[in-house]
Amino acid sequence: MRVISGRLGGRTFSSPGNDRTHPMSDKIRGALFNALGNIEGLRVLDAFAGSGAISYEAISRGALYAIALDTDASAVTTIRKNIEQLAIGDKISVYKANAVSWTEASSPRQLFDVVICDPPYNNVQLPLLRAISLSTIMGGILVVSLPPSSQPDFDADFDLLQEKAYGDARLYFYRRVAC
């Protein structure tokens, strides 16, 4: 796997190599970041980090920092090794944690400009995604990657900015409705 663009563009990193994660393809990751536009100086939460690819791409493209969360010990170990190899330990923190329990424990101390949820497609956990969307950590854009057979239910709380289909994945871009 590789970082697509930015200051780390072309650098390679490892994936956990188990069935508990599904690394986002370069094509979809590139489309996600192109749709987000300039993320320089933004705070990013990678809620289902897997390989950490989203976090590395965010830092490479100028994000202020990223937090990578995953419940799989192998994924967390791989992310830590990748962070060291890419020499970005001052920009990314990784936690072995469930995204909902971590966000509840962190609120209101942490506020993120971009929250990206790319859960394992064999266990999408729509209620978990809903709980993340309702947490107080959301300060900007919520991006959700799901298989075409799943549909997030955030309509009352979020404006759908755009939806993009890429074969076996759909990206949904939301902004929280102002209260």
φ and ψ at residue 113, rounded to 5 degrees: -80, -35
How many domains is the chain built from? 1
Is 12 part of a structural domain of the chain?
Answer: no
Is 120 part of a structural domain of the chain?
Answer: yes
Report the SS3 class of residue 86. helix
**What pLDDT does 134 receive?**
66
Would you write out the chain's pLDDT as a tens digit for each of its 179 residues?
999 999 999 999 999 877 667 788 899 999 999 999 999 999 999 999 999 999 999 999 999 999 999 999 999 999 999 999 999 999 999 999 988 788 777 655 678 899 999 987 766 666 667 777 666 566 789 999 988 888 777 656 788 899 999 988 999 998 887 65
Give the CATH number, domain containing residue 101: 3.40.50.150
Is 142 part of a structural domain of the chain?
Answer: yes
**What pLDDT does 101 receive?**
81
- The neighbouring-strand residues paired with 158 are 176
Is 10 part of a structural domain of the chain?
Answer: no
Is 66 part of a structural domain of the chain?
Answer: yes
Is 127 part of a structural domain of the chain?
Answer: yes
Is 31 part of a structural domain of the chain?
Answer: yes
Is 70 part of a structural domain of the chain?
Answer: yes
DSSP one-letter code for 137: T
Owning domain of residue 153: 26-176
For Cα atoms 173, 177, 179, give the angle at the middle one, nearest 5 degrees.
160
